[in-house]
Amino acid sequence: MLIASPTGSNICGRCIDQAQQIVKDESPGESQSFSLFSSLEEIPKPVEIKSHLDAYVIGQEHAKRAVSVAVYNHYKRIMVQEDVQDIDLEKSNILLMGPTGTGKTLLARALASFLDVPFAIADATVLTEAGYVGEDVENILVRLLQSADYDVEATEAGIIYVDEIDKISRRSANASITRDVSGEGVQQALLKILEGTVAQVPPKGGRKHPEQPLVSINTKNILFIVGGAFEGIEEIIARRRKKTLLGFSSFEEEEARLKGADLLEVVEPEDLLQYGLIPELIGRLPVVAALEDLTREALHSILLEPRNALVKQYQKLFELEGVELVFEEKALAAIIDDAQRVGTGARALRRSMEKVMQDIMFDLPDWDKIKKCVISKAVVTNGKQPRLS
């Protein structure tokens, strides 16, 4: 094929491919390249993946182990699937469930920062069936394609985290005469993508139209991690278990007994079905990992230990102004008390810290000859001024 320019010169398709490759090789800094694993030895071991997650996510041992093993097996499967002829290795998509603020999205972000593979985070709440106002389900593949810098081969070995999956549950267990275009309809559209299909996606996103060039993406080797809070699923589990239990324990007692780690052991596919996920979607999410409510000790660790710990962040902001910031232990305890009262997990810690530090940071740039700022319990509980020296 010869392609003519307005000036009258011509170039063939093979020369275009070679020129494109030369430009790509000579300017590596202009686009992000992904060094996909070339051997089994290059794939990070589950222990290495979990060790990295430990630096960002406090607690949640079960969820971190489940994600580490699933990611390791996923890339091991991609490496050997051409050599294995007698067995079909299927991918294990992951469902993360747990209360808000326990670290589901943070787990996905920490994973993305460790793996040198394309990674995209999508939100299920904006998705609708094709033809309705909202985003098509294929648009989550567009985000992965864009994060891979439009490298289709790298895209087809990437990871997608779909957040708020519980928000697309069916409105009712009974069949409805109206279309559930952002609930059950989205779940049905997700089925083929999760399992593996060749999807046609518009490279720039948006709605498809007949004259638009489309990119083919095979989702067979894309790992999907989906997460949701599943608010109220404890009631469904307690109601199911109440039918099979002997004795005189009340519904409230049984529900209270299921808080925290007990949820890991007792959640069943029928509970997810009752909540509003369709059976086909549940079947395509074989690995279920529940995240526990954060304990007081976990909240204390979140304030101090991770690389993105809140105390470290504020200390760095003060350090840029030449001031040392110190939190007394009783002040941290008061911040944790306030966060537990709000009850939105680690997000409540940020709210409590902002409430305490806002006025102090307003005056910080005007401090002269101040080298140290000490936050006491009185600053947190009564709004007193910090000790300055």
Span 216-275, pLDDT tens digits: 999 998 999 999 988 888 888 877 777 655 555 555 555 555 554 455 567 888 989 999
| DSSP class of 127 | B
Terminus-to-terminus CA distance in the chain, angstroms? 77
- State whether CATH 1.10.8.60 applies to domain 296-388: yes
In this structure, of 206-215, 301-310, 363-372, the range with the lowest mean pLDDT score is 206-215
Output the pLDDT for position 5: 80
Query: Cα(291)–Cα(271) distance, rounded to whole angstroms?
Result: 17
What tokens were used for 130? Answer: 């094709």
Query: Does the pLDDT value for residue 4 go beyond 50?
Result: yes
Answer positive or negative: Cα dihedral of 263, 269, 272, 273.
negative
What tokens were used for 43? Answer: 């794939």
Query: Does the pLDDT value for residue 36 go beyond 80?
Result: no
Query: Cα(213)–Cα(156) distance, rounded to whole angstroms?
Result: 19
Output the pLDDT for position 304: 93
- 64 pLDDT band (50/70/90 cuts)? very high
Query: Does the pLDDT value for residue 31 go beyond 50?
Result: no
Output the pLDDT for position 80: 79
What tokens were used for 108? Answer: 């996905």
Query: Does the pLDDT value for residue 24 go beyond 70?
Result: no
Task: Specify burial of residue 356 (Cβ count, 10 A radius: 0-12, 13-18, 19+).
Answer: buried
pLDDT by residue (tens digit) across 83-104?
A: 666 677 788 899 998 888 888 8
Asked whether the beta carbons of 305 and 58 are under 8 A apart, the reply is yes
What tokens were used for 199? Answer: 């999807």
Strand, helix or coil for residue 327: strand
Considering only residues 328 and 25, tell me which one the structure prediction assigns the higher pLDDT: 328
Angle at 57 between CA 53 and CA 59, to 5 degrees: 110
Residues 6+ positions from 335 with CB-CB distance below 8 Å: 303, 349, 352, 353, 356, 380
Asked whether the beta carbons of 149 and 120 are under 8 A apart, the reply is no
Query: Does the pLDDT value for residue 317 go beyond 70?
Result: yes
User: Which percentage of the chain shows pLDDT scores above 90?
Assistant: 34
**Single pTM value for the model:** 0.79
CATH H-level, domain 31-290: superfamily: P-loop containing nucleotide triphosphate hydrolases (3.40.50.300)
- 179 pLDDT band (50/70/90 cuts)? low
Q: H/E/C letters for each residue in 203-246?
A: CCCCCCCCCCCCEEEEHHHCEEEEEECCCCHHHHHHHHHHHHCC
Please state, as a whole number, how many other Cβ atoms lie within 10 Å of the Cβ of residue 337.
14
Residues 6+ positions from 132 with CB-CB distance below 8 Å: 181, 182
Pairing of strands 94-97, 198-201: unpaired
> Taking the domains of the chain in order of start, what are their residue ranges?
1-29, 31-290, 296-388
What dihedral do alpha carbons 163, 164, 170, 172 form, nearest 10°?
Answer: 160
Mean pLDDT along residues 360-371: 90
